[in-house]
Amino acid sequence: MATEVPELDAYDARILDELQRDARISMAELGRKVHLSQPAVTERVRKLEMAGYIKGYRAVVDYQRLGYGIRALVRVGRAEYARVVKLIEQTPEVVNAFNVTGEDSWILEIAVIDVEHLDAVVTKFCLLTETSTAIVLNVPRENAKVLPAKREDIKPVLKKVTGR
Amino acid sequence: MATEVPELDAYDARILDELQRDARISMAELGRKVHLSQPAVTERVRKLEMAGYIKGYRAVVDYQRLGYGIRALVRVGRAEYARVVKLIEQTPEVVNAFNVTGEDSWILEIAVIDVEHLDAVVTKFCLLTETSTAIVLNVPRENAKVLPAKREDIKPVLKKVTGR
DNA sequence: GATGAAAGGACTAAACC
DNA sequence: GGTTTAGTCCTTTCATC
């Protein structure tokens, strides 16, 4: 449900912001940044975790640096759901797998070493159904921070044709 | 360059693994897990950060819980590069923006509150060029862990037609 | 790289407002 | 909900092996 999130106040929003910026910040330092005492922020972070707003904390690694020279987005056509999921599970090169509406049922983000490796991974999915591969040239925005949704942030679309 | 990463040994690989699992683990605990002393892991983590293998640490938030009821992937056709980048910069709903090869120059991952909000965001890009929107139904794999690339992990493709 | 010691900072739990 | 305090644990920086 796309409800508002009235249970989150400005402190929570700032805490979520800071933890998305640097997840390894100490609770004492976080407290200083949001102007709360250390036990207070610690308790709020615990509640945000318990309520499922925060799912975890992850180190962000550099694919290129780790030897993955190519990132690609692979569109995969209609195929039996369970078969695709199983193949994804057997393919560690898939870093994100979206099941989506539309002609292409899946969009997979993969990280591979080189073209030979790309071939090996894409071929596995080609055996199921049609695929279409796009190589990532660059990523001007990656894993942007997300704040609690506020409906007033929606900028209404100006439609040329209005009713009545 | 898609080089190997010989400068990373098994300890570094385990450290990267653990920090991708839980970025807020203490250095003492991390040391216990990878069987190194605490000063030793601390130094290794510092080096991994300095060398750019680790780009940072982020809290992973739940879009749904934060009020974003819809995630979508928007394919955006050919358009002037700078104009697209500028529009992305002005659109906080874009959480990932991939500039890719192929007919669609961009694939954007967006998080929006509801259909009205989706309309507002997609329309901004429609004004530049053609777009195609696919709603995310589910995400069986999200931000999977990545380990240092090893060429021997590539499973060679069995081609039906072989040369000579 | 391990170990050990010492100082500073961070975390937890309790009492209290 | 918030703060403060006290005790414990963690981290950092030495030194030494």
Q: Of B126, B58, B137, nearest to A160 (Cα)?
A: B126
Interacting residues of A87 by C-beta distance below 8 A, sequence separation 6+: A124, A125, A128
Query: How confident is the model over B1-37, as pLDDT tens digits?
Result: 444 565 788 999 999 999 999 999 999 989 988 999 8
| Mean pLDDT for the stretch of residues B29-56 | 92
pLDDT of residue B155: 83
List the structure tokens of B37: 């002393």
Nearest CA in chain B to A98: B139
d(CA B66, CA B15): 31
Q: Is the dihedral of CA B15, B19, B21, B25 positive or negative?
A: positive
Query: How confident is the model over B132-152, as pLDDT tens digits?
Result: 999 999 999 999 999 999 998
Look at the block and give the residue holding tokens 């300095």. B50
Question: How many residues would you count in chain A?
Answer: 164
d(CA A54, CA B23): 13
Cα-to-chain-centroid distance, residue A87:
21
**How do the pLDDT tens digits run along chain A, 164 residues long?**
445 566 899 999 999 999 999 999 999 999 999 999 999 999 999 999 999 999 999 999 999 999 999 999 999 999 999 999 999 999 999 999 999 999 999 999 999 999 999 999 999 999 999 999 999 999 999 999 999 999 988 988 877 665 55
Strand extents, DSSP E, A13-162: 54-61, 70-77, 94-100, 104-112, 131-141
SS3 B47: helix
Region of B32 (left: φ > 0; alpha: ψ -120 to 50; beta: rest) is alpha
Smallest CA–CA distance, residue A40 to chain B, in Å, is 18
| Mean pLDDT for the stretch of residues B47-69 | 95
A74 in contact with chain B, both atoms CB, cutoff 8 A? no
pTM: 0.92
What is the per-residue DSSP string for B68-123? --EEEEEEE-S--HHHHHHHHHT-TTEEEEEEESSSS-EEEEEEESSHHHHHHHHH
d(CA B138, CA B133): 15
Q: Do B72 and B47 meet the contact criterion of CB atoms below 8 Å apart?
A: no
**Contacts A–B by Cβ distance under 8 A:** 250
Q: What is the DSSP letter of B26?
A: -
Interacting residues of A163 by C-beta distance below 8 A, sequence separation 6+: none
Question: What domains, with CATH codes, occur in chain B?
Answer: 10-50 (1.10.10.10), 70-135 (3.30.70.920)
Smallest CA–CA distance, residue B143 to chain A, in Å, is 5
List the structure tokens of A76: 């995969």
Q: Which of residues 78-107 of A touch strand D (CB under 7 A)?
A: none
Rounded distance in angstroms from the CA atom of residue B17 to the C1' atom of nucleotide D17: 31
Question: Which residues, numbered 29 to 48 in chain A, qualify as contacts with chain B under a Cβ-Cβ cut-off of 8 Å?
Answer: none
Q: Do A58 and B143 meet the contact criterion of CB atoms below 8 Å apart?
A: yes
- Provide the pairing of β-strand B94-100 with B131-141: unpaired
The packing angle between helices A27-34 and A38-50, to 10°, is: 100
Interacting residues of A139 by C-beta distance below 8 A, sequence separation 6+: A71, B96, B97, B98, B99
pLDDT of residue B1: 42
